[in-house]
């Protein structure tokens, strides 16, 4: 026993190293599998507050750009107002009123922390569960798709940016309406994404717009980018294309969280179908 104590105290650095290294690795691995379940992240109260303060300063410096983008967006929205259309018949007006229910609503939020230069990038926004934001909601901005909410606290949420290795979003090329998936890897850089799983018979053209398909949690037709290179690496039976992203992630300031009112209904129905299939095979 005494010899053991002497041995431990002689090589105490090594044992301390083991203790601390193992505990940090445990934190790291646990964090990975539980998807941000730990409290050490940027939507935590302290770091969230500090980020909020620093962001106030940065916000002032970027006033000109944000004004420009707001003006552009105002103009676009004004074009969609009922008053800017000519109503040809009164009947049509009443029909649209009863036929359409609002499916998507939007909550505006401000980006208070962002990164584009790491393998897995996250965004923190200043709206949380108090405002009705929940996990797995889509996030867009005026120029296109941004990411998916992964974690919320009462006042902040963290969003998995599109620039993340696990991103996979159902996308569509606009000319032929063919469906594929958008992914990203850190060898691509923050302005490029990869469109995969488009069937080989499709002949897309350079510069063709790519939008969300509506099979995911985003509304259909949200802009993702334009095709910039037709034959990227990989492929096989499918075409892989590089897409020039329409959103400049390094300059994100204001985003909108998409609330899909029918998402729960759809998810329940699909889960039920899966269960029925399993029961049938058993």
Give the interface with other proteins as residue ranges (CB under 8 A).
12-14, 16-17, 19-21, 23-31, 36, 38, 40-42, 44, 46-47, 54, 115, 117-119, 122, 158, 186-187, 189-190
Least separation in angstroms between CB 50 and other proteins: 8
Least separation in angstroms between CB 51 and other proteins: 8
Least separation in angstroms between CB 235 and other proteins: 18
Residue nearer to other proteins on the CB measure, 47 or 142: 47
Residue nearer to other proteins on the CB measure, 122 or 162: 122
Residue nearer to other proteins on the CB measure, 115 or 142: 115
18-to-11, 13, 130 alpha-carbon distances in Å: 11, 9, 42
Least separation in angstroms between CB 13 and other proteins: 5
Residue nearer to other proteins on the CB measure, 167 or 223: 167
> Could you tell me which residues are beta bridge partners of residue 139?
147, 257
Residue nearer to other proteins on the CB measure, 110 or 179: 110
Least separation in angstroms between CB 254 and other proteins: 19
Residue nearer to other proteins on the CB measure, 41 or 246: 41
Least separation in angstroms between CB 139 and other proteins: 16
């Amino acid at each position: 026993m005494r010899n053991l104590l002497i041995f431990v105290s002689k090589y105490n650095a090594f044992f301390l190293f083991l203790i601390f290294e193992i505990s940090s690795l445990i934190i790291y691995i646990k964090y990975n599998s539980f998807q941000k379940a730990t409290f050490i992240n940027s939507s935590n109260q302290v770091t969230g507050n500090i980020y909020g303060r620093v962001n106030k300063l940065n916000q002032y410096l970027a006033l000109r750009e944000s004004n420009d983008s707001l003006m552009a967006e105002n103009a676009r929205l004004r074009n969609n107002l009922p008053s800017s259309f000519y109503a040809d018949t009164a009947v049509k007006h009443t029909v649209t009123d009863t036929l359409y229910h609002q499916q998507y609503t939007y909550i505006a939020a401000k980006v208070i922390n962002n990164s584009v230069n790491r393998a897995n990038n996250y965004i923190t926004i200043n709206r949380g569960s108090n405002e009705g934001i929940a996990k797995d909601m889509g996030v867009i901005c005026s120029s296109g798709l941004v990411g998916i909410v992964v974690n919320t606290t009462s006042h902040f949420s963290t969003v998995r940016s599109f620039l993340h290795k696990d991103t996979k979003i159902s996308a569509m090329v606009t000319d032929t309406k063919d469906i594929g998936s958008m992914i990203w890897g850190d060898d691509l850089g923050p302005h490029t994404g990869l469109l995969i799983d488009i069937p080989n018979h499709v002949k897309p053209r350079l510069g063709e717009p790519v939008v969300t398909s509506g099979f995911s949690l985003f509304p259909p037709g949200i802009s993702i980018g334009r095709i910039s290179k037709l034959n990227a690496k990989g492929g096989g039976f499918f075409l892989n294309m590089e897409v020039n992203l329409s959103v400049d992630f390094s300059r994100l300031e204001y985003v909108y969280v998409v609330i899909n009112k029918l998402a729960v209904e759809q998810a329940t129905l699909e889960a039920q179908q899966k269960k029925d299939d399993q029961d049938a095979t058993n």
